[in-house]
Structure 1
């Protein structure tokens, strides 16, 4: 999977979010990419920010599996 650059178009982020939410699995590199997106204050929509936060909540509560590749 390619590194998500905050300057890339949002469909790449949207595709990543959809894949994670559909599969219920996220690897550590994807987790770090999403964390970076949130902390960098990049241009993401409120809906995307909400989905990222939901993924983080699901990982913390064990609803999503954090996998190592």
Structure 2
């Protein structure tokens, strides 16, 4: 895994500590999804966090690409 791809999560459960767009942009740019990425995105969607429709569409785009095999799952 490239060093550019590595980063840390402070909390996957707090919307205030996450930035959806940069995470989605990085996933799409590298074409890779880690378990931490998945945990972050699913926690934002399923924990009742207040996210915009645009953010929800970005997250759904990632999940669609997983289903179609367009994203490589790493470190699973």
For the criterion TM > 0.5, the same-fold answer is yes
Q: 1 or 2, which has the higher helix percentage?
A: 1
In structure 1, list runs of 5 or more residues that go unmatched: none
Match of 1:55 in 2: 62
Q: Which has the higher Rg, Structure 1 or Structure 2?
A: 2
Q: Write out aligned runs for 1:1-69 (5 A).
A: 1-2=8-9, 3-4=11-12, 5-8=14-17, 12-68=19-75
RMSD over aligned Cα atoms: 1.6
Comparing both chains, which one has the higher relative contact order based on Cα–Cα distances under 8 Å and sequence gaps of 6 or more? 1
* TM-score, structure 1 as length reference: 0.83
- Spell out structure 1 runs of 4+ moving beyond 6 A: none
Q: How many residues of Structure 1 are paired with residues of Structure 2 in the alignment?
A: 67
* TM-score, structure 2 as length reference: 0.76
